[in-house]
Structure 1
């Protein structure tokens, strides 16, 4: 029986995310699995989200506060901290996990990409790639857009960088975007399901989230990209994460690989890919 390919995608958005990387790596070691990390570049501007927590309703979302940390957010207001410069990110490479580029200036990217022209987006990706290479000694081979923000201009800009793949959408199948019936050359590997945190915010219980994940895993035809952040799922949803990981690794139905390995499988024709109009 052919096993469904499972990729674990972990997005490093903030300095707080980098601080808990050792804990994440311990969990991956425990399950003897590889993962694909995407690290953002540029200044951590999470403190700009602070206004969201002044709303009493938002304040009740204690996990959101715990994820980012009030202290860390205030520190960001005083110091220009660059996410990619954290020494902990090097631990990912030492453990032989995959590391790709998660954009440039995460906060600005999420909130202003739709207003950017093609030339501006090219410059953003170029700056992010330069910062990535300066920090780790090699050019990024893959990309993931912060906040799944996309636009036709962004997809066209990706064409200049020859990434092996990009992961900028949610969905069940790999595809090559089409713009005005023109098929682009950068393969898209979508995330299959929302993160635990997103599902919690929508009001789902822990048991419901577990069932959603297991049902989606079992329904996956060829592959499933599982998505999380270091400072949320491994820290604030640890028991649920362990439960899902134990199912993936012990059921005998799945093979965990990196997203780069998945892209290679698809390009060799081992799995299907489709064009999709954007």
Structure 2
């Protein structure tokens, strides 16, 4: 059986959306592959992420990944010294182009920083309101409803899973794990299906020591490919990194994977994986990441 790779793109910021998404679409068109985009539909409050500076490992990560040059000065000021701009509505063109070119498109959130930093404290009503705003704008622009959702920062609570179930998504991609599964949290089963990210992200890898070696821009592609050992592999990338400064790394990854015989598919095809089981969702750590993420129990 041919091994498969799904590229999942998280669009977190205005700059990543306005500039990074079109550049990625150019690469995907050139390489003749389809990918899965998840859009932050509302405001860019990236500057408020500075509150994470007291979280263990956050400052080291920012330095390792050269965050100021990666994200840009304006992005790092949005929501603090600069007003938080809206991402999609002022410029629907990248969003609509991704749809027109037959990429899979779904909801990431309304406000990425708000969800990632505040989710444990949010009520069901607030979570529903945040997702509903994103869903409504998606449908207004696209002309159809979003069928998938991917939680910012892989942050999940029983309340968020319950709301996503009520909203009727076809699947979600909120968790880091190994293979598609039905989530169980605190002893309660939820729908829809979870299709987790299986590979470490670029910001987790760069500058980290993994498998006994430091991961750099020169060897990260080989590191990723060495860990594409599932029949269905999911690489999460970001329009702010792989869509901008690190775009050549993305294209190299695609070219090398093709030569090795991997097939690129949309994330939704994870619904067709056989023998899907229920798995517990827990909060745990990953190499190179500050704070915890939702993880799939074995």
TM-score class, shorter-chain normalisation, is 0.7 to 0.9
Give structure 1 stretches of 5+ with no counterpart: none
Q: Secondary structure at the match of 1:159?
A: helix
Aligned equivalents of 2:8 and 2:59: distance in 1? 32
Question: CA offset at residue 129 of structure 1?
Answer: 1.1
Pick closer, same or farther for the CA change 1:72–1:177 going to 2, 3 Å: closer
| Counterpart position of 2:287 | none
Contact in 2 for aligned 1:132/1:139 (Cα 8 Å): yes
Matched, 1:261 2:265: no
State which of 243, 248, 260 in structure 2 corresponds to 1:251.
260
Pick closer, same or farther for the CA change 1:206–1:154 going to 2, 3 Å: same
Matched, 1:160 2:161: no
Pick closer, same or farther for the CA change 1:213–1:60 going to 2, 3 Å: closer
1:175-190 alignment, distance < 5 Å: 175-190=181-196
Q: Deviations over 1:172-206 (max 9, x none)?
A: 11100123544322100000112112211535223
Question: CA offset at residue 58 of structure 1?
Answer: 7.5
Aligned equivalents of 2:43 and 2:74: distance in 1? 17
TM-score normalised to structure 2 length: 0.81
Q: Deviations over 1:144-195 (max 9, x none)?
A: 0001001111111111011110000111111001235443221000001121
> Of Structure 1 and Structure 2, which has the larger fraction of its residues in helix?
1
Question: CA offset at residue 210 of structure 1?
Answer: 2.6
Aligned equivalents of 1:46 and 1:83: distance in 2? 12
| Counterpart position of 1:132 | 138
Aligned equivalents of 1:277 and 1:65: distance in 2? 37
Aligned equivalents of 1:145 and 1:119: distance in 2? 17
Question: CA offset at residue 225 of structure 1?
Answer: 0.7
Pick closer, same or farther for the CA change 1:30–1:71 going to 2, 3 Å: same
| Counterpart position of 2:13 | 14
Question: CA offset at residue 246 of structure 1?
Answer: 1.2
Aligned equivalents of 2:197 and 2:88: distance in 1? 23
Matched, 1:210 2:221: yes
Question: CA offset at residue 40 of structure 1?
Answer: 0.9
- Name the count of aligned residue pairs: 268
Contact in 1 for aligned 2:6/2:235 (Cα 8 Å): yes
Matched, 1:274 2:274: no
| Counterpart position of 2:41 | 41
Contact in 2 for aligned 1:174/1:272 (Cα 8 Å): no
Matched, 1:228 2:218: no
State which of 74, 90, 110 in structure 1 corresponds to 2:116.
110
Question: CA offset at residue 125 of structure 1?
Answer: 1.7
Q: Deviations over 1:50-102 (max 9, x none)?
A: 5779x997875573112221034446644442112233222211211111000
Give structure 2 stretches of 5+ with no counterpart: 210-214, 282-298
| Counterpart position of 1:28 | 28
- Runs of 4+ more than 6 Å apart: 55-59
Q: Deviations over 1:31-66 (max 9, x none)?
A: 11000000012211012235779x997875573112
- Aligned-residue CA RMSD (Å): 2.4
State which of 84, 109, 120 in structure 1 corresponds to 2:88.
84
